[in-house]
């Protein structure tokens, strides 16, 4: 699914260059559930951004489903994000003026899925996360847990094989967090690959494998 070799990322800040990733090699098999841990500044977010095709590495190679995406341009990466990857953020990142329905629909609008199929898919996903009756609500009218469930439904809109979650339970209470994690486990059971950044050991415990980052290095890969 994911194969990274000697990935480096250098940020140039004026005359100072900051090396956020210092040669990461990582392999994730299809259907794996991997959590990424590490202290602040260890490079977790940078790694997630590169895996999520939101950023490009300075060096190294990154194969996503056998495609080397390291050299892709913006629009090619957009297509990859749209088709292959679903994002779940800590702060949900829902469009505030759009309803739950419209938020879930959005990724399909960017790839031009026909209206009827789109509608069917939105309702199917809202059904899955248990929010069909709240489809006309805006994010401000939903609880944190509900918002995150809308975000998960949105992440699945184009049926991606890879789900990237950045502290998905960070902004919700622990009970709701467990429900959310239940959804992730279900997604893995469906055969999707899940990569999740977290600080929380109990959340990381839902994954099959945890990798640790420290100062831009991969220090441990625990099975």
Partner 1 sequence: MRAQLVHLFAKEFRKRKKKSALITFAIAWGTLSILLLMSFGRGLGNAFRISFKGLGDNLIMVYRGQTSKDYQGLPKGRRIMIYPGDIALLSALIPEIGLISPESNDYFTITGGGRETNRNVCGVGPGFGVMRSMIAERGGRFINEEDERSARRVAFIGWNVAANLFGGENPVGRTIVVNRVPFTVVGVMKKKLQSSAYEGFDADHVYIPHATFSRIHTQLFIDRIHIQPKRPEDNQVVERRIRQILGRKYRFDPEDDYALGIWNTIEEVEVAGRVFKGIEIFLALIGGLTLLIGAVGVTNLMYALVKERTREIGIKMALGAKRRHIVLQFLLETAFIFSKGTFWGAAIAYTIVRLTRLVPISYEITGIQTYLLRPIFSLDILVVFLVVLGTLVFLSGIFPALRASRLNPIEALRYE
Q: Which stretch binds partner 1 (CB under 8 A): 10-18, 19-27, 62-70, 81-89?
A: 81-89
**Which of 167/210 has CB closer to partner 1?**
167
Query: Locate tokens 């429900």: which residue?
Result: 179
b/e map of 3-29 (b: 16 or more CB within 10 Å)?
Answer: bbeebebeeeeeeeeeebbeebebebe
Closest approach, Cβ 93 to partner 1, in A, equals 5
Closest approach, Cβ 89 to partner 1, in A, equals 8
Closest approach, Cβ 202 to partner 1, in A, equals 27
**Which of 5/118 has CB closer to partner 1?**
118
First-to-last alpha carbon distance for the chain, in angstroms, is 18
- The answer to the question of residue 107 lying near partner 1 (CB under 8 A) is yes
Rounded CA separation 86/159 (Å): 8
Q: Report yes or no: 101 and 136 within 8 Å, Cβ to Cβ.
A: yes
The token pair at 181 is 């994690």
Helix axes 100-111, 115-128, angle to 10 degrees: 140
- The answer to the question of residue 78 lying near partner 1 (CB under 8 A) is yes
**Which of 151/211 has CB closer to partner 1?**
151
- The answer to the question of residue 111 lying near partner 1 (CB under 8 A) is yes
Q: Report yes or no: 24 and 214 within 8 Å, Cβ to Cβ.
A: no
- The answer to the question of residue 90 lying near partner 1 (CB under 8 A) is no
Helix axes 100-111, 74-84, angle to 10 degrees: 130
Closest approach, Cβ 78 to partner 1, in A, equals 5
- Using CB under 8 A as the binding criterion, the count of chain residues that bind partner 1 stands at 31
Closest approach, Cβ 127 to partner 1, in A, equals 21
Residues that bind partner 1 (CB under 8 A): 49, 52, 54-55, 74-75, 78-79, 81-83, 87, 89, 93-98, 102, 105-107, 109-112, 115, 118, 154, 158
């Amino acid at each position: 699914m994911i194969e990274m070799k000697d990935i480096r990322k250098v940020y140039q800040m004026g005359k100072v260059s900051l090396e956020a990733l210092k040669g990461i090699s990582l392999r994730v098999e299809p259907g794996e559930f991997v959590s990424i841990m590490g202290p602040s500044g260890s490079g977790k977010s940078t790694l997630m951004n590169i895996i999520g095709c939101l950023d490009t590495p300075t060096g190294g190679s990154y194969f996503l489903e056998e495609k080397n995406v390291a050299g892709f341009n913006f629009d090619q990466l957009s297509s990859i994000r749209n088709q292959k990857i679903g994002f779940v953020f800590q702060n949900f990142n829902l469009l505030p003026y759009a309803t739950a329905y419209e938020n879930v629909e959005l990724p399909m609008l960017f790839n031009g899925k026909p209206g009827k199929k789109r509608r069917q898919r939105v309702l199917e996903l809202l059904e899955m996360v248990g929010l069909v009756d709240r489809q006309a609500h805006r994010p401000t009218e939903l609880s944190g847990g509900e918002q995150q469930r809308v975000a998960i439904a949105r992440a699945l809109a184009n049926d991606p094989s890879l789900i990237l979650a950045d502290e998905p339970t960070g902004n919700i209470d622990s009970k709701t967090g467990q429900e959310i994690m239940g959804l992730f486990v279900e997604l893995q059971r469906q055969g999707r690959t899940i990569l999740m950044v977290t600080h929380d050991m109990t959340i990381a415990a839902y994954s099959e494998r945890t990798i640790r980052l420290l100062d831009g290095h991969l220090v441990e890969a625990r099975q």
